[in-house]
Structure 1
Amino acid sequence: MDTTSGTLDEALHRLHGRGPEFREYLSNHGPMAVEALIHRGRAGAVHRWLDTYETRLEEVPPPRTRITEANWHEALGDTARVTDWTAYFSRLISRQPWREVLAQWWPRLLPGIAGAATHPAIRVGHAVRALTTDGEDAARLSELAHALGYWAARHTLLPFSLTPSGRAEPADALAALPRIAERDVTPLRGYAQLSGTPGWLETTGSLGVPQDPEAARERLGELVRAATLNYAAYGHGDGVMLVHAATAPNAVLRTLPALPRELWSPSLAVAWTATAAITSIYAADTPLPPPDASSVTAEEVFELAADHGDAHVIKFADTALDVAAASEDGDDRALAAALNAVRLIGSGD
């Protein structure tokens, strides 16, 4: 991890002068991708990567009206208020320890994890990892404010109420998920089909969600692993969109240690619902063999992802390396999943 050159802080400073989205709805992946590159030892590539990526970004949207403790409810989910939200969280974090702000707002934001295809929650996960790994400073605290503000502005509830309460393991529940009927859709149009898809609510509700915090964290790790390996076989359904079925729960997993333990089990339940939704919308109907990863190392896989350059490939490889590192049996299927993303996703996506 680069902790001396200030590469991450320099990159975040550049990116905070740009808006969280471009072309009306595409998420700015810059803060997430540069954090992953630096975390994986590719700090030297960050500014060159940004020089290219930054050309597509847009200016910060103008502020509207100040958000306060008295009126935040009416601004939640209002995309036009994203700059107001960033200012609000910047003020909170300047006055309180960031962990206190996160603990207060996590339960408020978590139900809206589906917003912007889960990108705001993923951005929070990268921000928290930077703070807990590299330490606190102005740029990293500012990034957390930007990430939370983006999540508040894009807060989107799924169009159904569901609390998983079964006994299924993540891999089994994931494998049993049905697919929606109308494919090649936006996330919002896909979400609207889920409750009417035969068997979807029952299958999604079948996951076992432990109430013990440590057991919940372990189960969340299993979910990340299952979603990553699922991409290896089913990623060709939509190479870009399906990565979020793994990167979103991994962002939640990375955030858990900074949260009160009583929030861990509810976080698992919501992360699973998001993963189930994305999988049913974007995973292929039938599997295909993934690339062979038996002769490559984790470092070589991330090198390929970094050289590929697409932010989704970089972030998914970052998650796949987490899964591979957690494997006790030398399982290379997570690395195969990352290689599949390199194969499936175009460098301009």
Structure 2
Amino acid sequence: MDTTGTLDEALQRLHISGPERFGRLSNHAPMAVEALAANGQASAVHRWLDLYAPRLEDFPTGVEPVTDADWACALGDPRRAADWIGYFGHELAGRPWRDVLARWWPRLLPGMYGGAAHPVIRVGHAVRTLLAGESTGPRLTELAHGLGYWAARHRPVTGAAPVPGAGSAAAALDAVPPLAEREGGFPDRLGRLRSLPVWAATVSEPAEAHRRLTELVRAATHRYATHGHGEATMLVHAATAPNAVLRVLPALPHTLWVPSLQAAWTASAAVTALYAPDAPVAYVPPGTVTREEVFAQALAHGDEHVIKLTDTALDVGDEQALAAALRAVQLSEPLR
């Protein structure tokens, strides 16, 4: 993790900006700069941020403060993003961040599907930073922004009937029924989701939940190498959302690991249903390329989703994961 202060500087730059732009598109910069710093590219953080900065919007205006008495009424109201971020900023200033996270994780977990799962992904990056180093002001503020964004965009998946799945995560993702009507963006498609396969539903032990979540991240990352062309940007989240949950597990009480697995599976399966292509393409091995070379290609490309998928692919670390990262480079428009 970066010890130069560059990441903290970048986060301070970003905290005057809102979590979204155009009222619906997520601000990916905090996640991307954390991924750069975590992968030894702190020297590129400000240069990348200068390219991304024109996409940022000012921090939104608050409506009224969120309180412990009325928080449930504000949950899932995107107009209250500033109010929620302020609430978590106050909470994190007065209590250890792990305590705040443990208190709010079970409240937020059922609604991790709002904002195309970007809020939980942002929280995952923030928690990785806190676990890896000092709990500095900018890093705690970043956690407040991530949790606040999640609370504002909180949206459960409802009405999806369980259908037979499979034993492995890879086979269960293959069993996901594709959405018949593909019109509209993520919220519209999510509202039309009617069924999802059952997977890992009998898991009851925290250690097994961790193992199965690791399996899911690997399977979803591998799948991008052959299915990413269905929608190059959105299918990234089938891997990065469960990986965000996996990164948070070490900071959570063990009692929360099993429900975290189930929520992560729903997120990955839902994204797969909404954007999977009609047919896969052949897997192309990455050749002799190294991990460092793959991340260098992602950085040179610059797209925030490419950087984040590559970050997850390096967590997985095997040949097909590297191939998935290279496939994202191939499919996505570079940052200009």
Q: What range describes the TM-score normalised by the shorter chain of this pair?
A: over 0.9
Task: Give RMSD over aligned pairs.
Answer: 1.6
- The equivalent residue for 2:106 is 107
Identity of aligned residues (%): 55
| Superposed displacement of residue 166, structure 1 | 7.0
C-alpha distance in structure 2 between counterparts of 1:290 and 1:194, whole Å: 28
SS state at 1:295 partner:
coil
TM-score by length of 2: 0.97
2:259 counterpart of 1:266:
yes
Task: Give the residue type in structure 1 aligned to 2:293.
Answer: E
Q: CA deviation at 1:183?
A: 2.0
Contact 1:168 1:208 in 2 (8 A): no
**Are 1:180 and 2:179 matched, yes or no?**
yes
Choose which of 238, 241, 252 in structure 1 pairs with 2:245.
252
2:134 aligns with 135
2:2 alignment partner in structure 1: 2
**For residues 97 and 63 of structure 2, what CA distance do their matches in structure 1 show?**
25
Corresponding letter in the other structure for 2:78: T
- C-alpha change, 1:284 and 1:250, in structure 2 (3 Å) is same
Tell me how far apart the structure 1 counterparts of residues 34 and 163 of structure 2 sit (CA, whole Å).
32
1:345 corresponds, among 312, 318, 332, to 332
Mapped contact 2:199–2:265 kept (Cα < 8 A):
no
1:289: how far off?
2.3
Rounded Cα–Cα distance in structure 1 between residues aligned with 2:117 and 2:327: 21
Q: Under a length normalisation based on structure 1, what TM-score does the superposition of the two structures give?
A: 0.93
Confirm or deny that 1:334 pairs with 2:328.
no
CA 1:41–1:208: 2 relative to 1, 3 Å: same
Report 1:39-50 matches (<5 A). 39-50=38-49
Cα distance, 1:162 vs structure 2: 6.2
Superposition pairs for residues 8-157 of structure 1, below 5 Å? 8-157=7-156
The answer to whether the Cα contact below 8 Å between 1:209 and 1:269 also exists between their aligned partners in 2 is no
Q: Compared with structure 1, are the counterparts of its residues 114 and 348 closer, same or farther at alpha carbon in structure 2 (3 Å cutoff)?
A: same
Aligned residues: 336
Per-residue CA deviation, residues 251-291 of structure 1 (Å, 9 max, x unaligned), is 00000000000100000001001110000111212111244
Residues 37, 45 of structure 2: 8 Å contact kept: yes
- Aligned 8 A contact 2:21 2:57 in 1: yes
Following TM superposition, by how much is the alpha carbon of 1:304 offset from its aligned partner in structure 2, in angstroms?
0.3
Secondary structure (helix, strand or coil) at the match of 1:194 reads coil
Amino acid in structure 2 at the alignment position of 1:305 = A
How far does residue 230 in structure 1 lie from its aligned partner after superposition? 0.7
Q: Please report how far the alpha carbon of residue 294 of structure 1 lies from its aligned counterpart in structure 2 after TM superposition.
A: 2.1
C-alpha distance in structure 2 between counterparts of 1:251 and 1:209, whole Å: 22
CA contact (8 A) 1:170 1:222 kept: yes
Structure 1 partner of 2:305 = 312
Distance 1:174 1:214 in 2: 22
Between the aligned partners of 1:15 and 1:282, the Cα distance in structure 2 is: 30
Q: Once the 2 structures are TM-superposed, how far is the Cα of residue 63 of structure 1 from its aligned partner?
A: 1.1
Counterpart of 1:276? 269
Deviation readout 1:193-221 (Å, 9 max, x if unpaired): 221xxxx33xx224444110001000000
Of the structure 1 ranges 160-169 and 255-264, higher mean CA displacement relative to structure 2 is found in 160-169
Q: Does 1:193 align with 2:186?
A: no
Q: What is the CA–CA distance in structure 1 between the aligned matches of 2:200 and 2:173, rounded to whole Å?
A: 9
Distance 1:125 1:165, change over 3 A: farther
Give the residue type in structure 1 aligned to 2:328.
Answer: A
Q: Structure 2 vs 1, CA of residues 185 and 168 (structure 1 numbering), >3 Å: closer, same or farther? A: farther
Question: What residue identity is the alignment partner of 2:172?
Answer: A
Distance 1:251 1:165, change over 3 A: farther
- 1:192 Cα deviation from its structure 2 partner: 2.2
The letter for the 2-side match of 1:42 is Q
SS across alignment from 1:286 = coil
Kept in 2, the 8 Å contact 1:165–1:209? The answer is no
- In structure 1, runs of 5+ residues without a counterpart are 325-330
Relative to structure 1, the CA distance from residue 165 to residue 74 in structure 2 (aligned partners, 3 Å threshold; closer, same or farther) is farther
Unaligned runs of 5+ in 2: none
What per-residue deviation string (whole Å, max 9, x for no partner) do you get for residues 92-145 of structure 1? 111110000000000010111111000000000000000000221111001000
